[in-house]
Amino acid sequence: MTPAEIEELYRDHARRLAGYLMRATSDPEVAADLTAETFAAALVARDRYSAELGAPTTWLYGIAAHKLSDWRRRGYAEDRARRRLGIERPALSAEDVVELSRLAEEVTVVELLEELPPDQRKAVRSRLLDDLAYGDIAVAEGVSEAAIRQRVSRGLASLRHRIGGER
């Protein structure tokens, strides 16, 4: 993956990722730290990305999940990749905090996705977030296309139910 592709990932997904992290941490400063560290780590590790790891977004969220896990375990946000690249994490303004809080509300579905059974979660993620074709997902999973369609359908139905239940 090239630096330009990482920047494209940033443009397309930084806000949603920050919202996901904001919802997970309930702390705008930590969410900002983790967002910056996730993209810095992606930049550092870009040469190790390959299509076998899934879509770029899957890879990116995987990094974010690891950073989040580290934060929960240690109690502070890692900054190793940022230091390595010499990246300063920008300070948050009051408007940024409000915006992060708003973004956190937008990622409810992403959060709920994690609560789905693994096969449904993977199918929904591959189809809707990674934009893969049913046939490609089926080949990757070693099952029929019909099975993938069923997993996606059941996963979405479950998400609709959960969202409805929350609201």
Partner 1 sequence: MTDFFTALGLELHAAARRSPRRMVTLGQAPGTLAAAALLAAAVAVVVAVSGGGDRDSARVTGAPTPDPVGTHIRKEQTLYGAGALVVANGAAPMTGPWQIEVSRTNGERDTSATWMWHRGYCLWLHVLDSPGPQGGIRLGGCGTPRSLGFRKTPGFSRDQSMMNSEPPGTEILVWGRVPDRAAKVVITAPGRKPIEVVPTDGPKHFPGRFYAIPVKPPRPGARINWLDASGKPGSRGIALMPPITR
Q: Which residues bind partner 1 (CB under 8 A)?
A: 3-4, 6-7, 10-11, 14-15, 18, 32, 35-36, 39-41, 43-45, 48, 63, 66, 69-70, 74-76, 78-81, 83-93, 95-96, 99-100
Nearer to partner 1, 69 or 144 (CB): 69
Work out the number of other CB atoms within 10 angstroms of the CB of residue 46: 16
Q: Which is nearer to partner 1, 90 or 142 (CB)?
A: 90
CA 38/CA 125 separation, integer angstroms:
19
Q: How far is the CB of 1 from partner 1 (least distance, A)?
A: 11
**Closest separation between CB of residue 69 and partner 1, Å?**
8
C-beta of 12: minimal distance to partner 1 in Å?
Answer: 11
Q: Residues 46, 47, 48, 53: is their CA dihedral positive or negative? A: positive
Closest by CA position to 130, among listed 3, 9, 7, 1: 9
Residue 45 burial by Cβ neighbours in a 10 Å radius (0-12, 13-18, 19+)? middle
Looking at the Cβ atoms of 60 and 138, the one nearer to partner 1 is: 60
Rounded to whole angstroms, how far apart are CA atoms 49 and 5?
A: 11
Least distance in angstroms from the C-beta of 51 to partner 1: 18
Tell which residue, 78, 91, 85, 42, has the closest CA to residue 63.
42
User: Nearer Cβ to partner 1, position 66 or 161?
Assistant: 66
